């Protein structure tokens, strides 16, 4: 099946982790670094996203995030299509900004 804007997905991870103690800060930092190692990029503070070429690929990365979940805090995982992502409007103050670039996928067939 060819890639299209309805098959390509974006996985978003939202989190609010406790950071009151040194151990909690370390845990929060480790979680953030590990999801970044898996290819997630910061979209906003405590919101990270990753481009996935298919549902199967998205499921792999969602499972990895679930294995990293800390024992405390609030974490949300949401998957949206590339079409939905492309309809988002972004602003910095009143100035409209463009969406992040979609990573280019090498197609072999």
Binding residues for Mg(2+): 16
Relative to beta strand 74-81, strand 95-97 is: unpaired
Helix/strand/coil (H, E, C) string of 13-72?
Answer: EEEECCCCCHHHHHHHHHHHHHHHHCCCEEEECCEEEEEECCHHHHHHHHHHHHHHCCCC
Partners of 21 in the β-ladder: none
């Amino acid at each position: 099946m060819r890639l299209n804007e309805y098959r390509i997905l974006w996985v978003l991870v939202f989190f609010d982790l406790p950071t009151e103690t040194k151990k909690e800060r370390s845990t929060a930092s480790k979680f953030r670094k590990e999801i970044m190692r898996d290819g997630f990029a910061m979209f906003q503070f405590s919101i990270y996203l990753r481009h996935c070429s298919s549902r199967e690929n998205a499921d792999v990365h969602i499972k990895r995030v679930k294995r990293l979940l800390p024992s405390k805090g609030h974490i949300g995982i949401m998957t949206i299509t590339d079409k939905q992502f492309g309809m988002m409007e972004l602003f910095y103050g009143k100035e409209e900004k463009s969406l992040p670039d979609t990573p280019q996928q090498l197609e072999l067939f």
